Amino acid sequence: MSDNAVAEEVEKTRPRTRAEKQVEHRNRIKRTLVACFMGILAGGLSFYLSGTPDPVSGLQENAIIGILLLMAGVVFQKHIFMLIRVDYMALTGKDWFYQSFMTFALWFMTWTILLTTTVL
């Protein structure tokens, strides 16, 4: 093994300090808040940009716009991470799945609530 590989292995197995754990925790909270706000924003925009809901079925004319806004919200998170200085390059596939799921969940709830209140 080279010296760099050994140094990296030692760094990975070293116990983290309290300050490092707090910084990591704050970054996780920031990432979760970004995902939630992007989901709510995408859900609201999906409702307002997809057209008037049909009173009988509750469906909108251009519902595909809502799905496209959801995908844009997931992709746009990377740029928000750059603005708030979160190291997005360290995120794994599991982290991005979590980000996407949280965005989807809030998008779905927001859009559904807005559609439901117009039917009543």
| The pTM of the whole model exceeds 0.85 | no
Within-domain flag for 48: yes
Rounded Cα distance, 85 and 45, in Å: 26
Condensed to tens digits (0 to 9), the pLDDT of residues 40-75 reads 999 999 989 888 877 777 678 888 999 999 999 999
Condensed to tens digits (0 to 9), the pLDDT of residues 4-29 reads 776 666 667 778 888 888 988 999 99
Of residues 112 and 14, more confidently modeled: 112
Within-domain flag for 13: no
94 is in which domain, residue-wise? 32-119
CA nearest neighbour of 25 among 79, 74, 86, 82: 86
- Our count of domains for the chain comes to 1
